[in-house]
Amino acid sequence: MSLEGKTALVSGGSRGIGRAICLQLAAQGVHVGVNYVSNSTAAEETLAAIQKADGTGFITGFDVADSQDVQKKIKEIASEHGGIDILVNNAGITRDGLMARMKDVEWDAVLNTNLKGAFTCSKAVMRGMMKKRWGRIINITSVIGFLGNGGQVNYAAAKAGLVGLTKSMARELAARQVTVNCVAPGYIVTDMTRDLPENIQEMIKAQIPLGTLGTPEDVASATGYLASEESHYMTGQTLHVNGGMYMGN
Ligand SMILES: NC(=O)c1ccc[n+]([C@@H]2O[C@H](COP(=O)([O-])OP(=O)(O)OC[C@H]3O[C@@H](n4cnc5c(N)ncnc54)[C@H](OP(=O)(O)O)[C@@H]3O)[C@@H](O)[C@H]2O)c1
């Protein structure tokens, strides 16, 4: 599934699932842009890991929800690295709480990063992809967008919204051979889930037929497939990587 000569941008590539996606794409020969918002040390660690595995890449810091900065940084990347062929909209946050007590700032922060961020980054890269008549946009949604979850109305709405965004973009861009798909992870061990109390982790495992939480690499390999040439006839789809906890579509 070689992608030699292509350039990618992975939002939130500094840690967790994003870091594993950066390493996966680099292993497929991609020149990888590692995005972060605040943790530049983690972004440097990701780039060092890419280089240690004989890959190449660069670091780019910006907030995906800041559309002006997104446009500026993606323009700079295009002129320095020859355009972005693969965009992975992975940056995401949670601000959990029951809806009755949820504040507007918690709603806005989650929608802005998880959903608007995918819109701003995709908008900034799509023209270049359309011109080249080749592109891959992969949105990292969540099983929560399909199942819902008490305490996560903001996150579930953002992740379900990503699926609608993906299907509509897929229809708009198909004529130019740009595909747009989702990967929907279940529970994956990262900074986002590491601190869940032991009893909650046990409750989660009981709902997973394969019996364990997933790893960032499990999500990265599905993403690597959607980025590859081999996936060219798939668009508007969601690949579920969740140990069987949700089997619908
Ligand atoms: N972990 C799971 O179980 C799970 C399950 C389903 C879906 N997901 C989704 O998978 C994605 C990655 O999750 P994760 O668990 O790897 O999270 P994580 O370990 O908390 O890492 C989040 C990443 O997003 C970046 N980020 C956050 N806000 C940003 C912003 N405004 N602009 C740019 N980058 C931003 C962070 O950058 P800094 O390093 O600079 O903070 C970091 O690289 C998210 O979209 C998440 O919703 C995760």
Using an 8 Å Cβ cutoff, are 56 and 26 in contact?
yes
Residue nearest to atom 25 of ligand 1 (CA): 12
pLDDT at 116: 98
Catalytic residue numbers, as ranges: 155
Residue to probe by mutation, ligand 1, list 192, 200, 205, 208, most atoms within 8 Å of CB? 192
Assess whether pLDDT exceeds 80 at residue 58. yes
The tokens describing 16, both together, are 């967790």
CA–CA dist 134, 49 (Å, integer): 28
Give the ligand 1 atom nearest the CA of 17: 16
CA distance 165 to 181: 10
pLDDT tens digits, residue range 6-50? 999 999 999 999 999 999 999 999 999 999 999 999 999 999 999
Interval between CA 175 and ligand 1 midpoint (Å) = 31
Instruction: Give tens-digit pLDDT for 165-206.
Output: 999 999 999 999 999 999 999 999 998 888 888 899 899 999
This model's pTM is above 0.95:
yes
Across 108-118, average pLDDT: 98
Residues 6+ apart with CB under 8 A from 77: 7, 9, 33, 58, 60, 84
Alpha-carbon distance of 184 to 163, in angstroms, equals: 9
Provide the pLDDT for residue 249: 67
> How many CB atoms sit inside 10 A of residue 127's CB?
11
What distance in angstroms lies between residue 234's CA and the mean position of ligand 1's atoms? 25
**Closest CA to ligand 1's atom 8:** 142
Q: Say how many Å lie between the CA of residue 141 and the centre of ligand 1.
A: 11
Rounded Cα–Cα distance for residues 31 and 22 (Å): 9
pLDDT at 16: 97
Q: Residue 241 corresponds to which tokens in the numbers above?
A: 């990587």
Q: Name the amino acid, one letter, at 94.
A: T
Give the model's pLDDT for residue 196.
85
Average pLDDT rounded to a whole number, residues 108-137: 98
Q: What is the mean pLDDT of residues 150-166?
A: 98
> According to the model, what pLDDT value does residue 194 have?
84
Give me the domains of the chain, ranges plus CATH numbers. Answer: 7-237 (3.40.50.720)
